[in-house]
């Protein structure tokens, strides 16, 4: 999610008819003071570091306004953009003492306002051609470096601008290494690289039908347009959809003078985090590749040096990184992810941004920043996205389990996962969409693998370090990842280590906390809330304004919900109680009964079970509110299979009379209570008896009774009268789950003590669709094609369903000012929906499944802070 400032700026005046190019092509020093929404995250970081005097190569940023104008104008390249870019290039030439088209090379980089690591495109070494190559060789006296830079440029340009399959270039490199009997790119000689330049150019011509471009200005124009187009590339769209990022933000483009990490053993490139992104430990976390460019580190093609090895081999570099990390944190008040290059011993900073981190790290870093008096508790709460907490509730390997790992890689993203081994990204995406649990196994991942990673339970790679693409993206998604398992040889859809072969479809377990890879399934156990997380959530509880309750049908579920911090129970369903094996014979005989007296006989037997059910739940709830929904399920649902042989024939005869064309809209809910009131009488009596029994044991009971599927005030008033005779002074309310109930809420509220919105059914009724059918047939396509902005069964439809809810609350509270409002559908655990429920609907509580309670607690605090606009991060200032 965007911080409020960036979200507000995203809308800005991008939609204006004209965008002034001169105001939107700026040198880094000219852009100081502009926001991330305009400069993009990468451009903003470069501008801030330049202003602070950190070692940043000179460069230009083209703002996101240009990107949005480009798409608004049907992807027509602005005619006045290149003249302005070339004018600014003169300033870069002056600062570097180099000439573009001769000795000055540049990188062209994307940069969205919100970090999207690896999802858009970057081109390095731009400006190279045969003539420039000869100049570089003469001026640097390093022929290998020059050819290495050239082959990289042709490869990136061909892949990004002309969409040549990247694997074709990689295969040519692999072929050359096999011919030479070498394993690493750095072992390629000048002659090898010269040959690769030749074959790369031939491949380019073969695939495009034209010669590789030699005019640096033409190269630059094509690269800028390729970056703009990458905003709507497949992987960027997939990533935005996964993280619910606004499509209208656009990307900025940064053009930066090249500094070279592939200049020899005194050069290299690296990535760092100011704190450990997996644990949050306050310790510099960095990796460095000697004689490499940045793409080598991120891709994971080579395993880099760790921070300890940097300290040992390059102590001066280590000391500089420590100082820069400290300055960045004091400036941004947050953990930073930075990229750097060392060119012939000189350090250059190429990027800084708020670092992606695991949920554990997010909580620990936020709490540490409060202890260090850098931010407030309110700011700390906003630093952790509610959805991240799902990671902390991931299962992990049972400590008592006995197993022998087949290989151990680098522990890159915490949690454990079990699934079928799949080696192809498209295959992974296909199987994942079908609901299969899979582990994606790759040599290394690239941005093109995003859809396969989204569909997977976890990721395993042969190559890479803790800052490689697979590690960063998996941590951001909260998926377990093991990288750099170099003992694995991945080839032809199988992975081999020693005598062990992992084939496609084999079940494996990976542990992203230890790096273990295990053949077969190992027992996993549920996570528990740590002391640190409970402290953090207690800060959230002190801020939130609404209650966070849980949906629970059994004492075990109640106990689990309490463990996660539930303050009450907004939905106790009774249908599952009727489906229990020892009760089903009574239920079936009840349905088969021909008279009220006969039904009451079977209901009395069921009442004994129900009383015990409610008593155990009241004991477990220990004085917290418990909202019990009376029976809602259609009768035929209990007759799928005879509970005993003697019932087979009677059920067969009865079923035709119970048949309904649309049972979910038929004889169910309160309609059942109206026609067979003795069912609700039995349930109410059981609630009352359980209440008396528990209170006799000095347990406070706060029972509430909820009537399902009320659509008319007469249903509400008549059923209330029945309940009140049995259970006086017990609050009675209804679940609002039909449009009519919402539209006539003012009438219904006169006979209700509370409303609880059943968001699942209300969404189905409002959209006129069956959730199961819609999600299985067309809803995914609707979201992909932007017919709908999101799945309305995951996040509440504010304009339709939400409007009904607001109307119901307004008219309900007008008729009954003491009316309590709750949410008991799945949307009660969705952070975006919670913000709407708290700030626009005005609920007293939300209720969700037990394991989503921590998420709802934090989301409720976010909603409260955003509702009062109380907490903004400290304004950036020049402490660098």
Residue range 587-632, pLDDT digits in tens: 899 889 888 899 999 999 999 999 999 999 999 999 999 999 999 8
Q: pLDDT tens digit string along 338-353? A: 999 999 999 999 999 9
Long-range contacts of range 97-101, CB-CB < 8 Å, 24 or more positions apart? 98/257, 100/127, 100/216, 101/127, 101/132, 101/216, 101/217
Structure letter (DSSP) for residue 571: E
- Asked if 873 contacts 354 with a C-beta cutoff of 8 angstroms, the reply is no
Query: What was the pLDDT predicted at 34?
Result: 95
Query: What was the pLDDT predicted at 879?
Result: 40
Structure letter (DSSP) for residue 876: P
Average pLDDT, the chain: 90
Q: pLDDT tens digit string along 815-874? A: 999 999 999 987 999 999 999 999 999 999 999 988 889 999 999 999 999 998 644 444
Secondary structure, 3-state, 421-447: EECCHHHHHHHHHCCCCEEEEECCCCH
Checking if the pLDDT of 781 tops 80, the result is yes
Secondary structure, 3-state, 721-766: HHHHHHCCCCCEEEEECCHHHHHCHHHHHHHCCEEEECHHHHHHHH
Nearest to 673 by CA among 681, 663, 665: 681
| β-strands 336-343, 268-273 pairing | antiparallel
Count of H-run helices and E-run strands, the chain: 36, 30
Q: pLDDT tens digit string along 408-460? A: 998 888 889 999 999 999 999 999 989 999 999 999 888 778 889 999 999 99
Nearest to 342 by CA among 320, 326, 311, 309: 320
- Asked if 459 contacts 439 with a C-beta cutoff of 8 angstroms, the reply is yes
Say which range, 307-316, 561-570, 646-655, has the weakest mean pLDDT. Answer: 646-655
Residues counted in the chain = 880
Work out the average pLDDT over 357-381: 94
Checking if the pLDDT of 157 tops 80, the result is yes
% of the chain exceeding 90 in pLDDT: 69
346 burial type by CB count under 10 A (0-12 exposed, 13-18 middle, 19+ buried): exposed
Say which range, 278-287, 452-461, 562-571, 778-787, has the weakest mean pLDDT. Answer: 778-787
Tokens of 580: 């229990």
Query: What was the pLDDT predicted at 4?
Result: 39
- Asked if 391 contacts 417 with a C-beta cutoff of 8 angstroms, the reply is no
CA distance 257 to 107: 6
- R_g of the chain computed on alpha carbons: 31
CA distance 868 to 260: 49
Work out the average pLDDT over 183-202: 93
Query: What was the pLDDT predicted at 869?
Result: 65
List the strands of the sheet with 494-497, edge to edge: 489-490, 494-497, 500-503
CA distance 428 to 433: 9
Query: What was the pLDDT predicted at 300?
Result: 67
3-state secondary structure of 879: coil
CA distance 430 to 420: 13
CA distance 185 to 380: 44
Tokens of 872: 């903004």
Catalytic residues: 469, 824
Nearest to 295 by CA among 142, 124, 133: 124
Within 13 Å, how many C-alpha atoms sit on residue 471's CB side?
29
CA distance 342 to 534: 43
pLDDT band with cut points at 50, 70 and 90 for residue 389: confident
Within 13 Å, how many C-alpha atoms sit on residue 427's CB side?
13
- Asked if 43 contacts 254 with a C-beta cutoff of 8 angstroms, the reply is yes
Query: What was the pLDDT predicted at 19?
Result: 56
CA distance 791 to 796: 8
Q: pLDDT tens digit string along 43-75? A: 999 999 999 999 999 999 999 999 999 999 999
For residue 270, the cross-strand partners are: 288, 340
Instruction: Provide CB contacts within 8 A for 439, sequence distance 6+.
Output: 417, 418, 419, 420, 421, 422, 456, 457, 458, 459, 460, 508, 510
Query: What was the pLDDT predicted at 657?
Result: 84
Say which range, 283-292, 493-502, 725-734, 776-785, has the weakest mean pLDDT. Answer: 776-785
% of the chain exceeding 70 in pLDDT: 96
CA distance 451 to 237: 10
Instruction: Provide CB contacts within 8 A for 28, sequence distance 6+.
Output: 43, 46, 47, 50, 51, 56, 58, 59, 60, 61
End-to-end CA distance of the chain: give it in Å, rounded.
27
Tokens of 828: 């009660």
Torsion angles phi and psi, residue 445, rounded to 5: -95, 155
Checking if the pLDDT of 877 tops 70, the result is no
Give kind and range of the element (H or E) at residue 91.
helix 81-96
Torsion angles phi and psi, residue 626, rounded to 5: -130, 110
Let me know the angle formed at the C-alpha of 41 by 38 and 43, rounded to the nearest 5 degrees: 70
684 burial type by CB count under 10 A (0-12 exposed, 13-18 middle, 19+ buried): buried
Nearest to 252 by CA among 438, 63, 51, 91: 63
Chain centroid offset of residue 455 CA? 12
- Asked if 325 contacts 318 with a C-beta cutoff of 8 angstroms, the reply is no
Q: pLDDT tens digit string along 650-673? A: 888 888 888 888 877 888 899 999
CA distance 93 to 593: 93
Work out the average pLDDT over 285-293: 91
Within 13 Å, how many C-alpha atoms sit on residue 41's CB side?
21
More confident residue, 427 or 358: 427
Query: What was the pLDDT predicted at 243?
Result: 77
Q: What is the pTM of this model?
A: 0.78
Structure letter (DSSP) for residue 713: H
- Asked if 291 contacts 261 with a C-beta cutoff of 8 angstroms, the reply is yes
Tokens of 439: 């582990």
Work out the average pLDDT over 173-182: 93
Let me know the angle formed at the C-alpha of 528 by 524 and 529, rounded to the nearest 5 degrees: 150
For residue 130, the cross-strand partners are: none
Query: What was the pLDDT predicted at 134?
Result: 95
Nearest to 585 by CA among 656, 651, 642: 642
Structure letter (DSSP) for residue 841: I
Checking if the pLDDT of 275 tops 90, the result is yes
Checking if the pLDDT of 681 tops 70, the result is yes
Query: What was the pLDDT predicted at 726?
Result: 98
Checking if the pLDDT of 224 tops 70, the result is yes
- Asked if 460 contacts 517 with a C-beta cutoff of 8 angstroms, the reply is yes
- Asked if 745 contacts 720 with a C-beta cutoff of 8 angstroms, the reply is no
Cα–Cα separations (whole angstroms), residue 878 to 59, 250, 337, 375, 701: 20, 28, 19, 17, 58
CA distance 152 to 570: 59
């Amino acid at each position: 999610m965007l911080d409020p400032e960036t979200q507000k700026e995203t809308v800005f005046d991008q939609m204006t008819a004209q965008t002034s190019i001169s105001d939107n092509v700026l040198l880094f020093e000219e852009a100081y003071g502009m926001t991330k929404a305009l400069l993009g995250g990468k451009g903003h970081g470069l501008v801030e570091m330049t202003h602070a005097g950190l070692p940043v190569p000179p460069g230009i940023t083209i703002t996101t306004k240009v990107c949005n104008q480009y798409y608004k104008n049907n992807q027509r390249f602005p005619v006045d953009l290149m003249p302005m870019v070339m004018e600014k290039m003169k300033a870069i030439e002056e600062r570097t003492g180099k000439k573009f088209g001769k000795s000055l090379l540049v990188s062209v980089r994307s940069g969205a306002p919100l970090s999207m690591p690896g999802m858009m495109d970057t081109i390095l070494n731009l400006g190279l051609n045969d003539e420039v190559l000869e100049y570089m060789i003469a001026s640097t006296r390093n022929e290998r470096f020059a050819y290495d830079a050239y082959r990289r440029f042709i490869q990136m340009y061909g892949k990004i601008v002309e969409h040549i399959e990247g694997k074709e270039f990689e295969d040519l490199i692999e072929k050359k290494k096999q011919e030479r009997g070498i394993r690493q790119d750095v072992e390629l000689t000048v002659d090898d690289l010269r040959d690769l330049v030749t074959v790369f150019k031939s491949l380019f011509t073969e695939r495009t039908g034209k010669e590789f471009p030699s005019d640096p200005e033409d190269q630059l124009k094509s690269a800028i347009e390729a970056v703009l187009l990458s905003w709507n590339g497949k992987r960027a769209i997939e990533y935005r959809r996964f993280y619910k990022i606004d499509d209208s933000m656009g990307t900025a483009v940064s053009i930066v003078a090249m500094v070279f990490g592939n200049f020899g053993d005194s050069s290299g490139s690296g990535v760092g985090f100011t704190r450990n992104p997996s644990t949050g430990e306050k310790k510099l976390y960095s990796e460095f590749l000697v004689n490499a460019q940045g793409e080598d580190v991120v891709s994971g093609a080579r395993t880099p040096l760790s921070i300890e090895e940097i300290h040992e081999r390059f102590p001066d570099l280590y000391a500089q990184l420590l100082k820069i990390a400290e300055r960045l944190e004091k400036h941004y008040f947050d953990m930073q992810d930075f990229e750097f290059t060392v060119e012939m011993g000189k350090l250059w900073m190429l990027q800084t941004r708020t670092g992606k981190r695991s949920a554990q790290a997010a909580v620990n870093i936020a709490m540490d920043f409060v202890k260090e008096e850098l931010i407030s508790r309110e700011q700390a709460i906003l630093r952790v996205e509610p959805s991240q907490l799902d990671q902390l509730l991931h299962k992990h390997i049972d400590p008592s389990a006995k197993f022998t790992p087949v290989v151990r890689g680098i522990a890159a993203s915490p949690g454990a996962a079990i699934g079928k081994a799949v080696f192809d990204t498209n295959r992974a995406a296909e199987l994942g969409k079908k609901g299969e649990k899979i582990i994606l196994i790759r040599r290394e991942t690239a941005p093109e693998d995003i859809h396969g990673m989204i569909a997977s339970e976890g990721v395993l790679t042969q190559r890479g370090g803790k800052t490689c693409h697979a590690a960063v993206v998996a941590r951001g998604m909260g998926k377990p990842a093991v990288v750099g398992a170099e003992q694995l040889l991945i080839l032809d859809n199988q992975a081999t280590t020693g005598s062990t072969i992992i084939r496609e479809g084999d079940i494996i377990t990976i542990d992203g906390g230890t790096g273990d890879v295990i053949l077969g399934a190992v027992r996993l156990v549920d996570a528990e809330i740590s002391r640190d997380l409970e402290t953090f959530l207690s800060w959230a509880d002190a801020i939130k304004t609404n209650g966070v309750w849980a949906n629970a049908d059994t004492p075990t579920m109640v106990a689990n919900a309490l463990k996660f911090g539930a303050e009450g129970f907004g939905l106790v369903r009774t249908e599952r109680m009727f489906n229990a094996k020892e009760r089903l014979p009574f239920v079936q005989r009840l349905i088969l009964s021909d008279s009220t007296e006969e039904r009451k006989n079977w209901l009395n037997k069921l009442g004994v079970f129900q009383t015990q059910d409610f008593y155990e739940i009241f004991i477990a709830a220990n004085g917290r509110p418990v909202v019990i929904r009376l029976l809602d399920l259609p009768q035929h649902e209990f007759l799928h299979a005879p509970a005993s042989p003697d019932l087979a024939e009677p059920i067969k005869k009865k079923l035709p009379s119970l048949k309904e064309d649309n049972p979910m809209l038929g004889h169910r809910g309160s309609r059942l209570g109206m026609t067979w009131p003795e069912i609700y009488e039995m349930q109410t009596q059981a609630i009352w008896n359980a209440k008396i029994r528990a209170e006799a044991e000095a347990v406070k009971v706060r029972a509430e009774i909820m009537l399902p599927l009320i659509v008319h005030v007469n249903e509400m008033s008549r059923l209330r009268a029945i309940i009140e005779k049995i259970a006086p002074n017990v609050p009675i309310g209804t679940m609002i789950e039909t449009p009519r109930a919402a539209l006539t809420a003012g009438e219904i509220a006169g006979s209700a003590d509370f409303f609880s919105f059943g968001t699942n059914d209300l969404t189905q009724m409002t959209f006129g669709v069956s959730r199961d059918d819609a999600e299985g047939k067309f809803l995914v396509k609707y979201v992909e094609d932007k017919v709908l902005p999101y799945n309305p069964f995951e996040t509440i439809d504010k304009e339709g369903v939400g409007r009904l809810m607001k109307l119901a609350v307004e008219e309900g509270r007008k008729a009954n000012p003491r009316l309590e409002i709750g949410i008991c559908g799945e949307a009660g655990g969705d952070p975006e929906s919670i913000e709407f429920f708290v700030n626009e609907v005005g609920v007293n509580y939300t209720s969700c499944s037990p394991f989503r309670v921590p998420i709802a607690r934090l989301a409720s605090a976010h909603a409260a802070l955003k509702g009062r606009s109380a907490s903004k991060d400290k304004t950036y200032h020049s402490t660098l």
